[in-house]
Amino acid sequence: MTLALDAAAQDLLFREARTANTFSDEPVSDEQVQAIYDLVKYGPTAFNQQPLRIVLVRSEEGRARLVQHMADGNKAKTSAAPLVAILAADNEFHEELPSQLPHFPQAKDMFFSERSVREASATLNGALQAAYFIVGVRAAGLAAGPMTGYDADGINKEFFADGEHSVLAVVNIGKPGEDAWFPRSPRLSYEQVVTTV
């Protein structure tokens, strides 16, 4: 055993977990989402920044507002999933740095006074947090169906009227349904990805 993580956990999070395209009718509760968040909030980011924001789409009206902006190939599954979460980066995350990085509160002004720098940082670190969230969905015994096929500007304007948020992914969440996934696609080999200097 080269890994410390037990085999069942490896399977749950990576080896047997799959991106789901269909889901059962079983609902996903707020308690489940809270348990996911309370686990993955500890995932590391630069300067402990926490740009990730999560919008849970639960109302019929909210679902319709979202689905209109999804790519055609994603509309049906976004309409049918038990729960849909919009993951977005808050480009004004630096306002919280003084409280979230108490040993170095000056990071807010030293590094993040420029909007373009903030936005790049929010995208990168928000994506790290989005990945932790997807791992967390799987840790809850649920399947995730992350999507990036949508009109991003449309979603940003529809759900984040302040103009300070950028959608990173929309994630369908639930128990997998029938024929939930395609056969697994290949992965690049270690030799294709890893080099040594």
Site for a copy of itself in 12-41 (CB under 8 A): 12-15, 17, 19, 30-41
9 binds a copy of itself (CB under 8 A): yes
Stretches 74-82, 97-105, 172-180: which one binds a copy of itself (CB under 8 A)? 97-105
User: DSSP 3-state assignment of 178?
Assistant: coil
Q: Which of 24, 75, 92, 100 binds a copy of itself (CB under 8 A)?
A: 100
Which of residues 79, 80, 119, 124 is near a copy of itself by CB under 8 A? 124
- Least distance (Å) between residue 112 CB and a copy of itself: 12
Residue 101 · residue 48 · CB < 8 Å: yes
Instruction: Tell me which residue of 12, 21, 15, 13 sits closest to 147, measured CA to CA.
Output: 21
Task: Looking at residues 157 to 196 of the shown chain, list those that interact with a copy of itself (rule: CB under 8 A).
Answer: 159, 168, 182, 184-188, 190, 193-196
| CB-based contact 196:159 (threshold 8 Å) | no
State how far the Cα of 103 lies from the Cα of 123, in Å rounded to an integer.
Answer: 24
Applying the rule CB under 8 A, the residues between 62 and 81 that interact with a copy of itself are 62, 65
The helix (H) or strand (E) run that includes residue 130 is helix 115-139
Backbone φ and ψ for 104, nearest 5 degrees, come out as -155, 55
Residues 39-58 that bind a copy of itself (CB under 8 A): 39-44, 46, 48, 50, 52-58
